[in-house]
Amino acid sequence: MSQPSWVKGVDPTKVSAARMYDAALDGVNNLAVDRAAVAAITAITPYYLPTTIENRNVLQRMVRYLREQAGITQFLDIGAGLPTRGQVHEIADDAKVVYVDNDPEVIAHARALMAGTDRVRIVEGDARRPDDILAHRDVKDFLDWTSPIGLLLVGVLHFIPDDDGVYDLVERLKAALGPGSYVAITHGTTDGFDLAWNTAIAQQYESAQNRPHMRSYEEIEPFFANCDLVPPGLVNGVRWRPDGDTPPPEHIGIYGGIGRIQPGQR
């Protein structure tokens, strides 16, 4: 790909989690170093590509569920990623959406593509600092905090180690939401994984700002504390309300679930 101007200032020898994800989804917003890292992982594990593709599919099914079944008309999408096919504001095409990411490249690109879209705001913010996100004027003033909000933490919590307070930050965000709000989460897992694959994947992310920290089912479930899980609960990604042919679950290394935040959690 020819380097667009927004790549200026970015070290092209370093991978980024957002660009690698884009490369795995066959997007155009990635560099040779990202494609090489994805190819190296794909050569070692059959999980990576189908898992990445399914993660994006699960995100879309979850947003559709939240808009069409749960009636959610505003979304806070943290760890939004580079704009690629099937964006949240395109699926929920009458909803307000705030996209948050801590990668300046994602922010620059999203702003360039979505400038002037009234229903959308783009915020540079770090999930590890939830209070800063909640206090940002494009979050605080743009969303209606007296009405339900769909909080999306899709494919992002596995970039945050326990030591960075990942469980606390999720509770903090959930606690800020109005009655009837939901949290949608997908998370990469180590369950069923060959540990050698894990090491090989981690090596490919070594120069990235955001590096993966996969978790087991038992470690992911507590993110839904104080929530009622929407059926079918927290399950392998392919089993979360599939709407067509899906790959075999043994090739998919993510869990996904949506929780309705219980009243009184605010």
Ligand X SMILES: C[S@@+](CC[C@H](N)C(=O)[O-])C[C@H]1O[C@@H](n2cnc3c(N)ncnc32)[C@H](O)[C@@H]1O
Q: How far is residue 241's CA from residue 141's CA, in Å, rounded to a whole number?
A: 33
Q: Tell me if 92 contacts ligand X by CB under 6 A.
A: no
CB of 145 to ligand X, least distance (A): 21
Q: Tell me if 81 contacts ligand X by CB under 6 A.
A: yes
Q: Tell me if 80 contacts ligand X by CB under 6 A.
A: yes
Q: Which residue is nearest to ligand X (CB)?
A: 81
CB of 164 to ligand X, least distance (A): 8
Burial of residue 245 (CB within 10 Å: 0-12, 13-18, 19+) is exposed
Pick between residue 90 and residue 179 the one whose CB is nearest to ligand X.
90
Peptide bond before residue 232 is cis, with ω within 30 degrees of 0 = yes
Q: Tell me if 30 contacts ligand X by CB under 6 A.
A: no
Q: How far is residue 229's CA from residue 259's CA, in Å, rounded to a whole number?
A: 4
- Which one, of 257, 249, 233, 238, lies nearest residue 192 by Cα? 249
Contact 134, 176 (CB under 8 A): yes
Backbone phi and psi for residue 261, each to the nearest 5 degrees, phi listed first: -70, 130
- Which one, of 238, 235, 242, lies nearest residue 251 by Cα? 238
Q: Tell me if 50 contacts ligand X by CB under 6 A.
A: no
Q: Tell me if 201 contacts ligand X by CB under 6 A.
A: no
Task: Tell me the window of 53-61, 177-185, 190-198, 219-227 that interacts with ligand X (CB under 6 A).
Answer: 53-61
Cα 49 to Cα 26, 64, 84, distances in angstroms: 10, 23, 16
Q: Tell me if 34 contacts ligand X by CB under 6 A.
A: no
Pick between residue 181 and residue 186 the one whose CB is nearest to ligand X.
186
Binding map of ligand X across residues 105-144, x = CB under 6 A, - = no contact? -x-------------------xxx----------------
Binding site for ligand X (CB under 6 A): 17-18, 21, 55-56, 59, 78-81, 101-103, 106, 126-128, 154-156, 159-160, 210
